[in-house]
Amino acid sequence: MSGASRLSDRWRGTAAVLCSVLLLTISEAQRASAIIVFTDISEAAGIRFVHYNAASEEKYLIETMGSGCGWIDYNGDALMDLYLVNGTATHVHQPEIIPTSSLYRNNGDGTFLDVTEQAAVGAEGLFGMGVAVGDYDNDGLQDLFVAGYDRSILYRNNGHGSFSDETALAGVSNAGRWGSSAAWFDYDRDGRLDLIIANYVDWTPEGNVRCGNPGEEYRAYCHPDTYSGQSPTLYLNQGQGRFKDVTKSSLLSLSRASGLGVITFDYDRDGWQDIFIANDAMANSLFRNNGDGTFEEVAYTSGIALSEDGKAEAGMGTDAADTNGNGWMDVFVTHLDFEHDRLYRNLRQGAYEDGTFAAKLGYATFNYSGFGTKFFDYDNDGSKDLFIANGHILDNIHLYHAEVTYAEQNLLYKNDGTGRFSKASTSVRGDLKQHFVSRGAAVADFDNDGDIDVLVSNNGQPAQLLRNDGGNRNHWLQIQLVGKESNRDGVGARVKVVAGDLTQYDERKGGTSYQSAQDPRLHFGLGHRVIVDSIEVTWPSGLREVFHSLESNRTIIIEEGMGTGVGVP
């Protein structure tokens, strides 16, 4: 009996757990071809969404900063559905038809169906920015949080293809603040997901400032330092569908900045998830979780606040991953043009260094404006590669810098296995080089074929779904975590996978990218390795479980407490 079968037998009779085995049969001719193609299938898939940014001559700052996108299996059929966040009417721009955000159901045949109306998740009247997906009430159904300007919305999944607006009951409206990105995470490890929101600047239509050089054609969106920054918002999940604003008692209110991208992860491996926020034109924020309900701002002392030359840059999107196989999470941050996107290497003992140029990522991003970003193994060779969604802020940037364009191409970088990156131009083809004004980026294996696809939201333009064709020529493994004592999503769990000479580490993180939500399954490329020797899961509860001898090319579901486990502090 195989290791995978033994794992399935261990769960037999447990109704909450399913083990879906997704085996691939790939011809030798396919394996011989090294070319991977990312194909924009949006139109063919039935995705008709076009982002509404309410662009006007007044250059309201909210027009250019959105928006995000996300993956959610809202109906529990093991197919990732997608959600796209939209803007709405403003004081100076009134469309004939009020736009809404959109939920598309995955039909399982490469197409999607717009189910926004029946699901009741259109977020009508909200100038939306970001989306976060999580099971905040631990009922096995994925819920939806939509962050936006001046307020936000929490949709509770009813389990019958529809959602209910529970914002008022839950107390998470974030009223009066400009919510950009959000993340579900269990910061106090009580088994319930809490919510952190990265808030941008204190802007209002009434206080809109005219910026740019003289002349109407030179009018520009204002620099963020024109307005005051805001502190992030932290909501504690009290159970029974209710939350408490603990921003002040957690000490997060002491930090005011222009927050855009957010990620929660355990940077110092002490068992508590910390918070990293990419701030626009201000020093980044790293809030160390003290384990007592409070956080300490340690960005400066850890070396992750500024660039290598000591400058605060235009932080937009962010992600964290073990890029060089040492088991510690490095952090990547995207910036505007004439700044370098930054990779911060985790030196352990709570310290980081700017490793951008050592990773060969320095000059490659200098003329681009990066937003959404994600580490993922696009070719399943066992190393985390890097995707960056690009697009400028100013629609008239050519008047200021002739060499920079408003619409830009997105970038994909290949990791050589040691944490050094190069443009994936020789082994990748397709529609990556199309020029858009990109913002959010979210990855998922939407067709369950073993390679990771990319969803991109574009400001004022159609969204893109880039299907990965060929990344599954190498072997792979996907893991879906189901917490019992820990939160049901397993956020905060740490996973180690060993396959022969390859050892990989990952963590079920909260947030990531820019205003976007990712596939909750952890994906591990295995290269030529057919057997996974072991999987070790350390849950937020402290339980550590180990599984042995599993076959590759499948998705497994690991429920907390169902394996061979030992307690750890």
pLDDT digits (tens, 9 = 90+) for 133-155: 999 999 999 999 999 999 999 99
Token reading at 159? 């389990």
Position 562 scores a pLDDT of: 85
CB 410 within 8 A of CB 456: yes
What's the CA angle centered on 127, arms 123 and 128, to 5 degrees? 65
Beta-strand relationship, 211-212 and 194-199: unpaired
Q: What integer is the mean pLDDT of 325-338? A: 97
CB 445 within 8 A of CB 478: yes
153-184 tens-digit pLDDT: 999 999 999 999 999 999 999 999 999 999 99
Position 564 scores a pLDDT of: 54
The answer, yes or no, to whether residue 30 has pLDDT greater than 60, is: no
390-412 tens-digit pLDDT: 999 999 999 999 889 999 999 99
Which residue, chain included where needed, has tokens 């049901």? 488
Q: How far is CA 534 from the centre of its chain?
A: 27
Of 126, 174, 178, the closest CA to residue 149 belongs to 178
238-248 tens-digit pLDDT: 999 999 999 99
Q: How many other C-beta atoms can be found within 10 angstroms of the C-beta atom of residue 54?
A: 21
The answer, yes or no, to whether residue 338 has pLDDT greater than 60, is: yes
Give percent above pLDDT 90 in the chain: 90
pLDDT band at residue 21, thresholds of 50, 70 and 90? very low
Instruction: Assign 3-class secondary structure to 230-287.
Output: ECCEEEEEEECCEEEECCCCCCHHHCCECEEEEEEECCCCCCCCEEEEEEECCCCEEE
Position 127 scores a pLDDT of: 98
The answer, yes or no, to whether residue 568 has pLDDT greater than 60, is: no
Position 321 scores a pLDDT of: 98
CB 165 within 8 A of CB 154: yes
Q: How far is CA 185 from the centre of its chain?
A: 13
Q: How much is the mean pLDDT over the chain?
A: 92
DSSP 133-184: EE-TT-SSS-EEEEEEBS--EEEEE-SSS-EEE-HHHHT---TTSBEEEEEE
Which position has the higher pLDDT, 1 or 520?
A: 520
Q: How many other C-beta atoms can be found within 10 angstroms of the C-beta atom of residue 325?
A: 17
Q: How many other C-beta atoms can be found within 10 angstroms of the C-beta atom of residue 214?
A: 6
